Structure 1
Amino acid sequence: MEALMRWHTTAVAARAVRAGLALTLALGLASVAAAQSLEYAVKAAYLSKFGFYVEWPKSAFSGPSSPINLCVIGDDPFSGLLDDAVAGQQVEGRPIVVRRLKAAARDAGCHIAYLGGDARAPATIDSLRGTPTLVVTDAHSAGNASGVIQFVLKDNRVRFTIDDETAAQNGLAISSKLLSLALNVKPRGSR
């Protein structure tokens, strides 16, 4: 009987430990999911506002009321957050339109291109180089390639760096206000 009691106590304790581990794992995964959701909500907010601080050449648009095309290239990590962030926004009378593309080409008509977790980011960046496109990447996915703006996580916050030299090569002028918010700026004429 005593052996049966010890076995029962051990079995109950083992189940409690397994349940505790499962709960800890579930809470940890929920915490990671919440952090990623918050990360992409912040990135969506940034992407929806970058257009207010960039000047494109007039030739980048077919007309005075043509939209600013914000393209998500490859996988879309936003789950509707980006659509919500741009809803009803206009930059100098131009609506912001979200487009989702599997791949980007020079003639895709993207004014802002977010590459996110796209494994082809370096090749896509190269294909858009010299076009009036504000290329935005995540630092962890772009490798050594550099878009114009790169999101970075620093101190558990979404921040960004700006390559103003690449912006100039793409015919874009970035406002000093946006440059002042960047974690780091690669200035024009630095190559």
Structure 2
Amino acid sequence: MAGGLLALAMALTLAGTAASPAVAAETLEAAVKATFLYKFIAFVSWPDSAFPDPSSPFVLCVEGPDPFGELLDRAVAGQSAAGRPITLWRAPRFEAGSGCHLLYSRSSPGRLRGAPVLTVTDGDSAVDTGAGAVVTFVLRDDRVRFIIDAAAAQDNHLTISSKLMSLAVAVRR
């Protein structure tokens, strides 16, 4: 887990080093978010009931327009967490029971409240709550940061490590 924490800290640092052109900044932002997505898995505990069997993979889902493309494919290639391989799914929409353990969506993921899914979305500002998401990405000082909604995590039967919470710019309780 120490390696995962170091990678998250490095992603926070790198997020502020983008070249000035907008395209380079968007690419770096997407790369940092892609890294965060799969690294979050190591810092969250799901109930056993979230997996069909002990060898089931973690399923990372991207809903709707995919801002990551190959960046996320490369980030998760060959990765595992807690002995489970990480699998990537993309679709226009996912519902509760679809098998996702982590869902990134630009639309409101609040409809999955109560399902054991780590929902992640983008926010417009550092005070944006992400419309029911457990984790909301925000830009602060040109760096990708995140807000954690601890109540949403609890509603989704997820336990988020104190290490991950300490890296968040805010934790909503």
Task: For residue 31 of structure 1, report the CA deviation from its aligned partner.
Answer: 1.1
Task: For residue 143 of structure 1, report the CA deviation from its aligned partner.
Answer: 7.8
Gaps of at least 5 residues in structure 1 are 1-29
Q: Match for residue 172 of structure 2?
A: 186
CA contact (8 A) 2:121 2:137 kept: yes
Task: For residue 133 of structure 1, report the CA deviation from its aligned partner.
Answer: 0.2
2:73 aligned to which of 79, 83, 89: 83
2-structure distance, mates of 1:96, 1:126: 23
Task: For residue 140 of structure 1, report the CA deviation from its aligned partner.
Answer: 2.9
Q: Match for residue 150 of structure 2?
A: 164
Question: Letter of the aligned partner of 1:172 in structure 2?
Answer: L
Task: For residue 146 of structure 1, report the CA deviation from its aligned partner.
Answer: 2.6
Q: Match for residue 93 of structure 1?
A: 83
Question: Letter of the aligned partner of 1:139 in structure 2?
Answer: G
1-structure distance, mates of 2:145, 2:47: 27
1-structure distance, mates of 2:89, 2:116: 17
Gaps of at least 5 residues in structure 2 are 1-19
Question: Letter of the aligned partner of 1:166 in structure 2?
Answer: A
Tell me which protein shows more helix as a share of its residues.
Answer: 1
Task: For residue 94 of structure 1, report the CA deviation from its aligned partner.
Answer: 0.5
Alignment of 1:4-43 (within 5 A): 31-43=21-33
TM-score normalised by the chain length of structure 2: 0.84
Kindly indicate whether structure 1 or structure 2 has the higher relative contact order, using CA contacts under 8 Å at least 6 residues apart. 2
2-structure distance, mates of 1:49, 1:169: 22
Moved more, 92-101 or 52-61: 92-101
Q: Match for residue 151 of structure 1?
A: 137
CA contact (8 A) 2:121 2:130 kept: no
Percentage of pairs with the same residue: 51
Cα pair distance change 1:144/1:72, threshold 3 Å: closer
Question: Letter of the aligned partner of 1:130 in structure 2?
Answer: G
Q: Match for residue 138 of structure 1?
A: 122
Q: CA RMSD in A?
A: 1.7
Q: How many residues align?
A: 152
Q: Match for residue 62 of structure 1?
A: 52
